[in-house]
Structures are given as structure tokens and as C-alpha cells.
Amino acid sequence: MNDFPGSAGLMLVPGVVHLNEPAAVFEAMVEGWARQQRSRQLGEGTVTDRERLLRRFQGFCESYPWEWTPGDVEDFTVSLTSGSKRLALSTIRGYHLTLRLFCDYVTDARYDWPKQCQDRFGQVPSQVCNEWNTVRHLNEYEGKPQRRPLTYREVDALFEFLDDRVERIVRAGRKGSLAALRDAIMLKTTYAYGLRRTELVRLDIADLRPNPKMRAWGTYGSVHVRYGKASRGSLPKRRTVLSIPEFDWVIDVLRQWVEQALPLFEAGGHPALWLTERRTRVSVRHVDELFMMAREELGFEEHLTLHCLRHSYVTHLIEFGYPERFVTEQVGHSWGSTTAIYTSVSNDFKNKTLQAALSRVYATDEGEH
């Protein structure tokens, strides 16, 4: 009998009679697959979400895996794309992937589920997902086309608004000026280092590090990201993001925060770089709400999000002339093609590039005559 994680022999107790045998076997399958995934070190959130989808699919079909057909997948997909709450293409693809992986698991003879189903129900599970009823990955980027990098003017307007917000609170004599200063510096740091939301809020003071090539910047020559976006089944990725000359203004901003403002929180040695008035770490939700508030006040498009600052960082580094490999390393992408998706250079940059090319080509031609 197979006895590795997820096998039927470990999930079903021999000789036990269940009042609802189909439901009991299905639950054993789901739990067995969860155990197999945990053995592969997949995240608990991933495992839980997949379990939830399997039960949702089973409830939709009103049948069990050994009875499922490709038609059930097609009907389920239609239900996801109908009505006003149509799911995104990437979400539906994720659902299809989950169903495909589960069917791979229950049809694998090594886990003994086909034999168990044949002995108990006279049927065996099959792979119900195929190339004809699942979403194909046709494009590298399937996000909303309205999402784009902020222009230089929009970035300037955002930071001016946040700075003015601090000054307004101070002039009015109201509480909250320290928190407003923190908010302004957080968004500036997001842009100046191309950070994701979680990467930003999980920064500690110790993550600000020197760059031996630029000693004048002190401990603000780089940012060590310890909670980068993880691949499935892996721990958060780490990377070091170097401060760059074009964004050297952030050095003085961070120095002001760490050496002058942050001690005013009297947090007793709390390691976090961004603290609330209650001396707890600032949340991702707060940063999202901060950006949305600023966006509404400035009249920016509603599809712009905090992540657009990261897009802006990539675009602007490309415009500054940094090599693609350097940009890819800075933002923590595994592939250069992913960085290219973020890139949307401005018309000014393209015009300057074209002018340089025209000058180079035609100047050469004139010299030959």
C-alpha cells in the first residue's frame, strides 16, 4: 500500500463504513491533495484557496470527481463569465489550473484513488480539463489596459500634494503632521526604489544599507528587500535595490525620516521603518487607502493604483538609459520579458531617441558625400 503524503491508504481507514460514502471519499481526496501540496511546501493560503474552489466546483456539479466530465468544466466556466460580476481572465485560468492539478492527483495510480473509486463506486476519475475547455495563456500581460505608469508631471503633482498636506496640518495646529510626513516619505520611497506594497510596509530600519561605491550616501545607498514576491512553493525572494543618482533626492528624505522623525514615535526599539501612532507597523491597506485618497484629490484616473508607481520606476529607469538587465535586477523580476511588460516610455523619450538616430544616420550620410 502506498504511504506517501496524499495517498488514499493514509486518508481512508480500512473497514470503516460511512453513512455518506461518496461525500467521505471526496473529503478524503481533498484533504489528501492538501497534504501532498504541503509536502511540496506550498503556502497555506494557496492550499486553502484551492480547497475552497474544489468544494465550490463539486457543489456546482452536484457530483463527485469520479463522475465529473469536461462538460462540467465548460458549464462552470460559463457561470463564471455570466452576469455583471464576470471574473477576470487570469482568475478563470487560475481556477482551471486548480481543477487540472486536482484531476492529475486523483487519476495518478500512485495515490491509489482510481482503485478506491473503482472498488467503491464502479467508476474512476478522469482528467476533465483539456486544451479545448480551458483558458489559454495568450498574452504576457492581461491586466487592465487602463493601468499605466504615471507621467513625470503626475509624479511631481502627487509628491507636491503629499508635502502640502503636511504643511496644511502643521499650519492648522492639528494632530497628524508626523503621520502625514510618514505617508509622504513612504510613497516617495515606493517610487524611488520600485517597491511593491508588501515590500514597502515590511521594511525595517536595518534594511537600509550602504553602497561601498557611494560612501557619501551613508546607510542609504541601498534597500534590502526581504519580502519580495514569492514563487509558488518558495519563500519570499530577497534582493538589494541600489539607490540611483537620478533619485538621489530620496537619500535626504530617508535620512530626515530615520534620524529626526521616527524617534518621535518613541517606539522602544521597534524594528519597523514605518510605524503608526500606536507604534505598530503600517498596513498594506493604509498605503492603498493613502494612494486612493491622493488620486481622488488630484483627479487622477480611477484605474491608477499604487502599483503604477512601480511601473513608473521601471519606465523612468529605461528612459534614463539603464540596461534592461540592471532594471530587471532592481525590481526583482526573474525574466527580462516581465520587465518589458512594465515599460511604457514617454513620447518625449521616443522623440529624443528618434532625433538622435536621425542625426547619427544623416550626419554619416552627409559626411560620405
Please write the tens of the pLDDT for every residue from 216-270: 999 999 999 998 887 655 677 899 999 999 999 999 999 999 999 999 998 888 9
pLDDT score recorded for residue 331: 87
Closest listed residue to residue 222, CA positions, set 204, 237, 240, 197? 240
Mean pLDDT of 53-65: 95
Give the pLDDT of residue 100: 93
259 and 185 in contact (C-beta within 8 Å)?
no
Give yes or no for residue 212 having a pLDDT over 60: yes
Indicate the pLDDT class of residue 369, thresholds 50, 70 and 90: very low
What does the pLDDT read at residue 139? 45
CA Rg, the chain, in Å?
Answer: 27
Q: How far apart are CA 76 and CA 97, in angstroms?
A: 14
Determine the pLDDT at residue 319: 85
Q: Which of 72, 40, 45 is nearest to 56 (CA)?
A: 72
Counting runs of H as helices and runs of E as strands, what totals does the chain give?
15, 3
pLDDT at 81: 85
CA gap 364, 19 in Å, rounded? 87
- Per-residue pLDDT at 5 exceeds 80: no
Q: What is the pLDDT of residue 296?
A: 95
Question: Which pTM was predicted?
Answer: 0.63
- Cα distances from 85 to residues 77, 81, 82, 320, 360, in angstroms, run 13, 8, 7, 41, 54
- Domains, in order of start, for the chain: 8-121 (no CATH), 152-355 (1.10.443.10)
- Which residue from 240, 212, 215 is spatially nearest to 225, judged by alpha carbons? 240
Least confident of 64-73, 82-91, 169-178: 82-91
CA distances from 238 to 59, 229, 230, 232, 342 (A): 40, 9, 9, 15, 20
Give me the pLDDT at residue 362, please: 66
* Pairwise pLDDT comparison (130 vs 144), residue with the higher score: 130
Residue 57: pLDDT over 80: yes
Q: When comparing pLDDT for 341 and 311, which is higher?
A: 311
Average pLDDT over the chain reads 85
Q: How does residue 335 score in pLDDT terms, banded at 50, 70 and 90?
A: low
Q: Which amino acid is at 170?
A: V
Higher pLDDT, 141 or 233: 233
Across the range 148-172, mean pLDDT stands at 93
pLDDT tops 80 at residue 354: no
Nearest to 140 by CA among 331, 333, 315: 333
Is residue 339's pLDDT more than 70? no
Phi, psi of 314 (to 5 degrees): -60, -50
Mean pLDDT value across residues 8-27: 76
Report yes or no: 311 and 196 within 8 Å, Cβ to Cβ: no
Of 198, 199, 192, which Cα lies nearest the Cα of 217? 192
Q: How far apart are CA 310 and CA 150, in angstroms?
A: 9
Closest CA to 343 of 356, 357, 333, 354: 333
First to last CA, the chain: 85
Provide long-range contacts, Cβ within 8 A and 24+ apart, for 90-98.
90/142, 92/135, 93/134, 93/135, 93/137, 95/53, 96/129, 96/134, 96/135, 98/50, 98/53, 98/54
pLDDT digits (tens, 9 = 90+) for 80-135: 888 777 888 778 888 999 999 999 999 999 899 999 999 999 999 999 999 888 88
Structure confidence by residue, pLDDT tens digits, 288-309: 999 999 999 999 998 899 999 9
| Predicted local distance difference test score (pLDDT) of residue 318 | 86
- What is d(CA 142, CA 157) in angstroms, rounded to the nearest whole number? 29
Confidence of residue 142 (pLDDT cuts 50, 70, 90): very low
Percent of the chain at pLDDT > 90 equals 55
- Grid coordinates 492603498 are at which residue? 288
**What pLDDT is stored for residue 334 in this prediction?**
63
